[in-house]
Amino acid sequence: MNIKIEVDADYSFGHEVFGRNPPIPSPGASVEAPGEATVTLENLIERRSGEALTTFAIILGIAANISHLVQFAAWIAEKLKSDGKTRVLRINGRHVGTDEAAIRDFLKQLAEDDSD
């Protein structure tokens, strides 16, 4: 299943997920993640109002398998936590808390809805 994830954060989030080479990840950049997942950067939208935040639009390719989703939720929550400046997380257009439990529960619900 493909899941759209949007993260409003500074560039350190991009470095955490995609590495530092190049310094700013380009659309199409892709990495493997726990849970046999693939994370692909779809787009970057820079915002310069008040704080310099960027929206990272990511496509997550992952099986609708609960154990895989749990592994991915732990990984992405750690990336969000180490950034320290993540402001908003949206999954398939819905605001989700940035802690592991909120991400895991939302992804599990998506998997259950996908199996119906």
Which pLDDT does position 51 carry in this prediction? 66
Question: pTM of the predicted model, to two decimals?
Answer: 0.89
Return the closest-CA partner of residue 77 out of 109, 53, 105: 105
Which pLDDT does position 61 carry in this prediction? 94
> What are the 10-residue block averages of pLDDT along the chain, 116 residues in total?
92 87 86 95 82 86 91 94 80 95 95 80
Which pLDDT does position 49 carry in this prediction? 63
**Alpha carbon distance 10, 71 (integer Å):** 24
2-115 folds as Alpha-Beta Plaits (3.30.70)
